[in-house]
Structure 1
Amino acid sequence: MPTLAVNIDHVATLRQARMAGFPDPVKAALVAEDAGANGIIAHLREDRRHINDEDVERIAKSITTRFHLEMAATDEMRKIARRVKPYSVCLVPEKRKELTTEGGLAVAGRVKQLKEYVAPIQNDGIKVSLFVEAAAEQLEAAAEIGVEYVEIHTGHYADAEGYEERKRELEKIFVGIAHAQDLGLKINLGHGLDYDNIISFSKIPHINEYSIGFSIIAEAVFCGLHDAVSRMALLVADFSV
């Protein structure tokens, strides 16, 4: 059965808006777990705009489900990951002025560099995922690097305007999923997924995990975090295996 991993970054975003001590992303992680989340995601950005180092340390020590750490492929982040030892790390691109991650990591043409980068992390027993576009060259490079997982970027589909554009973007993802599976990669999906657009993936077999954050935190404003996570977890639980 596919699982749900809840990204709690935007709980920290709300905290940082007032530079306050609350809301606490660790408390959010525990509520999400109780509501049915199978994993917790936090993105420790280089600029620390929301999640900070203390959050990462506390999340790793507090939750009982899987902790997925999103990070850029820098020496600093690798040192943090190897110290904290999350269940997995997902390497993502970062731009200083972006509102959120804008696209997949460019792995094609960087196989040797990234293979050397992830090796110490994998040797520590930490699983590695790459956040990539559903393009053959990126997926093939990911397989060559030797990671176990890819998270296919669903943002272009989520942001598409009009039926035809959404259909085109969805088909690209479907083709990418099939190709990644042929390469032996485990598939996670994430970025821009919400309670409505996620239904397009309900009949796609062998998806490992759905990574969802903003839509759940936004919905929680109106119904509470426990209910918002629970509703998404129930949706995912009904999907094809």
Structure 2
Amino acid sequence: MTMPLRLGVNIDHVATIRNARGGNHPCPIRAAHVAAAAGADGITAHLREDRRHMTDADIARLVQEIDLPLNLEMAATDEMLAIALKCRPHAACIVPERRAERTTEGGLDAAGQQGMLKPLVERLRDAGIRVSLFVAPEARQIEAAAQLGVPVIELHTGPYAHSGGAAAELGHLRKAAAMAKQLGLEVHAGHGLSFANVGPVAAIPELSELNIGHFLIGEALFSGLDAAVRAMRARMDAARA
């Protein structure tokens, strides 16, 4: 029997729209409640160094006010570590971050940064926070994640999405997911997923969670967030059926 596939809804870009004019509307916490009611299994939020979308207050409110697990995406910095240790989200996904990028452009170099990542991973783990690493679907990065002792990796699906769902990119994801599972890692995936391309990824049996944000928030402009989340959930479930 194929295991269920969880949907984590990233609400960053609700905050992006709010911040374009200042004030409190639209509220990302309200979006989290709507996503939860529509069938999301978790909420993802990225607190960036430049605070371009989510703010410290947003993260604190999400921890306090939503019933779903919060997955905090964060850079591997002392500042973000301190915030995570204070807020205690359910999970922390360590991602690479550059000020100049529009969105996360690549996977974390876990293989080349093990010395820096190890103490950060240990402090998060000791605080009871479930740690994951956002990595490219490459053997060396998956092996490095396993060596660091994290329980979860999230595979970067951007190259697959940007290629129009190319078979070769899908093959990389399938191979990486199988390898990670064999190493005892729980496998998530995300970045650039949409109604058009989610099916083949959702069908990868080793995956246990997809994190999707930008597309859902964009689609919500036309159909509403509740309907967008329900439609994505239905496509994921159909791919697993």
Task: Give the superposition deviation at 1:120.
Answer: 1.1
Task: Give the superposition deviation at 1:117.
Answer: 1.2
CA distance in 1, matches of 2:228, 2:205: 25
Greater displacement, 199-208 / 177-186? 199-208
Task: Give the superposition deviation at 1:116.
Answer: 1.2
Q: Specify the alignment match of 1:138 in structure 2.
A: 141
Q: Aligned match of 1:119 in 122, 129, 133?
A: 122
* 2:232 corresponds to 1:232: yes
- 1:66-99 per-residue CA deviation (whole Å, 9 max, x = no partner) reads 1000000001101110111111000000111111
**Structure 1 moving runs of 4+ over 4 Å:** none
Q: Specify the alignment match of 1:223 in structure 2.
A: 223
Task: Give the superposition deviation at 1:232.
Answer: 1.1
Q: What TM-score does the superposition give when structure 1 sets the normalisation length?
A: 0.96
Contact 1:2 1:239 (C-alpha < 8 Å) held by counterparts? no
Note the 1:38-187 alignment, pairs <5 A.
38-161=41-164, 166-187=166-187
Contact 1:39 1:66 (C-alpha < 8 Å) held by counterparts? yes
CA distance in 1, matches of 2:184, 2:218: 35
Task: Give the superposition deviation at 1:60.
Answer: 0.7
Q: Specify the alignment match of 1:36 in structure 2.
A: 39
Contact 2:157 2:192 (C-alpha < 8 Å) held by counterparts? yes
Task: Give the superposition deviation at 1:178.
Answer: 1.1
**Structure 2 letter corresponding to 1:43:** H
- 1:105-145 per-residue CA deviation (whole Å, 9 max, x = no partner) reads 01103223211111111011110000000000000000000
CA distance in 1, matches of 2:42, 2:99: 27
- Aligned-residue Cα RMSD (Å) equals 1.2
- 1:139-161 per-residue CA deviation (whole Å, 9 max, x = no partner) reads 00000000000000000010015
Task: Give the superposition deviation at 1:4.
Answer: 0.2
Query: Structure 2, unaligned stretches of length 5 or more?
Result: none
**Structure 2 letter corresponding to 1:53:** D
Contact 2:5 2:202 (C-alpha < 8 Å) held by counterparts? no
SS at match of 2:240: coil
CA distance in 2, matches of 1:16, 1:90: 24
Contact 1:15 1:24 (C-alpha < 8 Å) held by counterparts? yes
Contact 1:150 1:188 (C-alpha < 8 Å) held by counterparts? yes
CA distance in 1, matches of 2:234, 2:167: 25
SS at match of 1:238: helix
Contact 1:3 1:237 (C-alpha < 8 Å) held by counterparts? no
**How has the CA–CA distance of structure 1 residues 30 and 110 changed in structure 2, closer, same or farther, with 3 Å as cutoff?**
same
Contact 2:145 2:153 (C-alpha < 8 Å) held by counterparts? yes
Q: What TM-score does the superposition give when structure 2 sets the normalisation length?
A: 0.96
CA distance in 2, matches of 1:199, 1:215: 14
Task: Give the superposition deviation at 1:238.
Answer: 3.3
Contact 1:2 1:206 (C-alpha < 8 Å) held by counterparts? no
CA distance in 1, matches of 2:109, 2:202: 28
Contact 1:135 1:176 (C-alpha < 8 Å) held by counterparts? yes
Query: Structure 1, unaligned stretches of length 5 or more?
Result: none
CA distance in 1, matches of 2:6, 2:234: 10
Q: Specify the alignment match of 1:4 in structure 2.
A: 7
Task: Give the superposition deviation at 1:229.
Answer: 0.8
